[in-house]
Amino acid sequence: MRRSRLLWPVLGMPAIAWMAVFFLIPLYVVLCVAFGKVDPVFRSAIPVWNPLEWSFTQLGIVVDRLVGPDNFYLPPVLRTIAYVLIAVAACLLIAFPVAWFTARHAGKHKALVLTLLVAPFWISYMMRMLAWVNLLQNDGWVNKVISLNGLLPTEQAWLSGRPTTVILGLIYGYVPYMILPLFAALDRISPSLLEAARDLGAGGFDVFRRVILPMSIPGVAAGMLLVCLPMMGDYFTNDLLSGSPGTSMIGNLINNSITTPGQSGQAAALLLIVLVVLSAPMIWYTRSTARSEVRS
């Protein structure tokens, strides 16, 4: 029995050591940079390793750029909120009928439809964006179709800083993450429950509003979160489909700070703010996942 008790720690040690060194330390370094000092000459970041000596200089710079007189961080933040809200709502509107059809009406085609719904997960995100860059370029197929192959002067420069293109790109990129959890939730609703509701006199809309909708809430919540979290840090969709500062989001602010020498401190502080804002939904999701694991 003694040997058995020793076995598990020995098996687990490599991974625990790995997570400590390559997961916890990097997150700690982000904190040390975010709460670190600023070089008085070069304005670059100097990490402070001792938490007792942490200062709020970097956070102060970021907060100043958010709400101070020179608030050039504010438009991207507001834009992010607007884009993400629109995109998440659109994802929900697309995902609900598709998930419901797959769960209830697909019949003998269910396996095929599910395979096609999962397919985007196996196609690289960059390739899916590249596909749209091809279609949306000035001589691309979208312009050919809407101008009836050059007959109408309706050609548009889709890829030069249009919010519509960026939002559509976000929807296209992330809607698969909404459909699958929604499908899982809707698929679990027993058909006899819907029958019972109808037997008790509920009309089609009543069944939807009073039975289907409440029972789909866990799936809707999980889907919204899975779509929303990556959108908050996304900068590449924007860079590929717009590339203009006129549509930049929080992800772009962070990425631009990382790639500009001497701006690491602001990047860390921005990241920290995003993490703090997102921590509540992240913790909720972790706990509900852990709970459902225990239940099943």
Partner 1 sequence: MSGPITVTDEANSLSHVHSAPDNAPRKSYTLATITVIYLLWSLVPVAIAVLFSFNSGRSRSVWQGFSLRWYIWDPEGSVLHNESLRSAVVHTLVLGVITTAIVVPLGVLFALALDRWRGRVPSGASFAVLLSFVVPEIALAIGLLFMITWLATPFELGTTAQVIGLITFQLSYPVVIVRARLLTIGTHYEEAARDLGASPLGAVRRVLLPMLYPAIFVSAILVFADVLDNFVLVRYLSANAASETTSMKIYNTARAAPTPALNAIATLILLASFAVVILGYLAYRKWGRGQGEEGTGLGSMAAM
What is the closest distance, in whole angstroms, from the C-beta atom of residue 69 to partner 1 in the complex?
A: 28
CA dihedral 167, 169, 171, 172 (to 10 degrees): 160
Site for partner 1 contains 134 (CB under 8 A): yes
Site for partner 1 contains 104 (CB under 8 A): yes
Residues numbered 230-249 forming contacts with partner 1, rule: CB under 8 A: 230, 232-233, 236, 239-240, 243
Stretch touching partner 1 by CB under 8 A, among 51-59, 75-83, 84-92, 264-272: 264-272
Site for partner 1 contains 268 (CB under 8 A): yes
Binding-site size, partner 1 (CB under 8 A)? 98
Site for partner 1 contains 137 (CB under 8 A): yes
Q: How far apart are CA 289 and CA 57, in angstroms?
A: 37
Amino acid identity, position 71: N
* CA distance between the termini of the chain: 30
Stretch touching partner 1 by CB under 8 A, among 56-64, 68-76, 146-154, 272-280: 272-280
Site for partner 1 contains 144 (CB under 8 A): yes
Phi-psi region of 136 (alpha: psi -120 to 50; beta: other; left: phi over 0): alpha
Site for partner 1 contains 7 (CB under 8 A): yes
Site for partner 1 contains 153 (CB under 8 A): no
What is the closest distance, in whole angstroms, from the C-beta atom of residue 199 to partner 1 in the complex?
A: 5
| Cβ-based nearer residue to partner 1, 78 or 118 | 118
DSSP, res 102? I
Site for partner 1 contains 76 (CB under 8 A): no
Amino acid identity, position 158: W
Site for partner 1 contains 47 (CB under 8 A): yes
- Helix ranges (H only) for the chain are 2-19, 25-34, 57-67, 74-100, 110-122, 125-136, 141-146, 163-187, 191-199, 204-207, 213-233, 236-241, 250-259, 264-295
- In the block, tokens 């019949």 appear at 107
Distances (CA, A) of 184 to 12, 38, 103, 187, 221: 32, 49, 8, 5, 12
Q: Which residues contact 155 (CB under 8 A, 6 or more apart)?
A: 138, 143, 146, 147
Q: Provide the 3-class DSSP secondary structure of residue 82.
A: helix
Binds partner 1 (CB under 8 A): choice among 71, 154, 164, 286: 286
Stretch touching partner 1 by CB under 8 A, among 59-67, 81-89, 149-157, 173-181: 173-181
Q: Provide the 3-class DSSP secondary structure of residue 41.
A: coil
Stretch touching partner 1 by CB under 8 A, among 52-60, 75-83, 96-104, 147-155: 96-104
Site for partner 1 contains 158 (CB under 8 A): no
Amino acid identity, position 17: A
Residues numbered 105-124 forming contacts with partner 1, rule: CB under 8 A: 105-106, 113, 116-124
| Cβ-based nearer residue to partner 1, 72 or 287 | 287
| Cβ-based nearer residue to partner 1, 31 or 215 | 31
Site for partner 1 contains 290 (CB under 8 A): yes
Site for partner 1 contains 277 (CB under 8 A): no
